[in-house]
């Protein structure tokens, strides 16, 4: 296999995979994280809160927005055999890892990660959004993807309280996506936004 594409995110960082064992919604599995990708070697606290404070979703088409090495979308695909999951991230290493993890877990027929996706409509969008890209970029990102929700669909997100979870919820409501806080733990809020 040509390893050149591993280094497109940051050629100065050697690429190392680190297995991360997970227990989500009653399913135990291990996925690989990697250097040069968010939360290398561990499940970050925000994603942990999101998965612990929610129930496994039902059948449908899902988007894992800012997927990293794929843990949210993969957890959905593992827990729900009738779920089809698209995952998107700007980091090419993250996309590579997410697709490798899907193959290793036997869900590659229902999970695909990419740096861009064709237009599609989703029952739900799940995300630990990249808050640190800045408010303007975050708002642009959300307004790009939230309109892809099907009527009656929802977005499920986790955001740090000190990183603006409450103001984001207000802003989302102002954009026509009524948003409620459904859980709070370890300084994070789980927000659910309804489609327009």
Per-position pLDDT tens, the chain of length 196: 333 333 344 545 567 788 899 999 999 999 988 766 766 666 888 999 999 999 999 999 999 999 988 999 999 999 999 999 999 999 888 899 999 999 999 999 999 999 999 999 999 999 999 887 888 999 999 999 999 999 999 999 999 988 889 999 999 999 999 999 999 999 999 999 999 8
pLDDT at 4 (0 to 100): 35
pLDDT of residue 53: 96
Give start and end residues of each alpha helix (H) in the chain.
45-52, 71-79, 92-105, 135-145, 165-174
pLDDT, position 115: 94
Residue among 125, 115, 73, 117 at smallest CA distance from 94: 115
Q: Note the pLDDT of residue 36.
A: 63
3-state secondary structure of 44: coil
pLDDT (0 to 100) of residue 189: 96
End-to-end CA distance of the chain: 45
* Cα distance between residue 88 and residue 159, in whole Å: 18
The pLDDT value recorded for residue 41 is 63
* Residue 44: predicted pLDDT: 84
């Amino acid at each position: 296999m040509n390893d050149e594409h591993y280094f497109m995110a940051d050629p100065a960082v050697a690429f190392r995979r680190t297995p991360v064992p997970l227990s989500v919604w009653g399913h135990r599995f291990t996925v690989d994280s990697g250097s040069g990708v968010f939360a290398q070697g561990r499940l970050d606290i925000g994603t942990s809160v999101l998965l612990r404070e929610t129930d496994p979703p039902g059948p449908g088409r899902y988007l894992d927005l800012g997927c990293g090495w794929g843990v949210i979308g993969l957890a959905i695909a593992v827990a729900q055999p009738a779920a089809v999951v698209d995952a998107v991230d700007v980091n090419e290493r993250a996309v590579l890892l997410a697709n490798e993890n899907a193959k290793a877990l036997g869900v590659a027929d229902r999970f695909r990660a990419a740096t861009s996706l064709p237009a599609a409509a989703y029952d739900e969008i799940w995300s630990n959004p990249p808050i640190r890209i800045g408010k303007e970029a975050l708002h642009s990102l959300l307004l790009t993807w939230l309109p892809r929700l099907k009527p009656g669909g929802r977005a499920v997100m986790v955001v740090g309280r000190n990183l603006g979870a409450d103001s984001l919820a207000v802003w989302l409501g102002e954009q026509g996506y009524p948003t409620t806080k459904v859980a709070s733990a370890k300084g994070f809020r789980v927000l659910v936004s309804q489609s327009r």
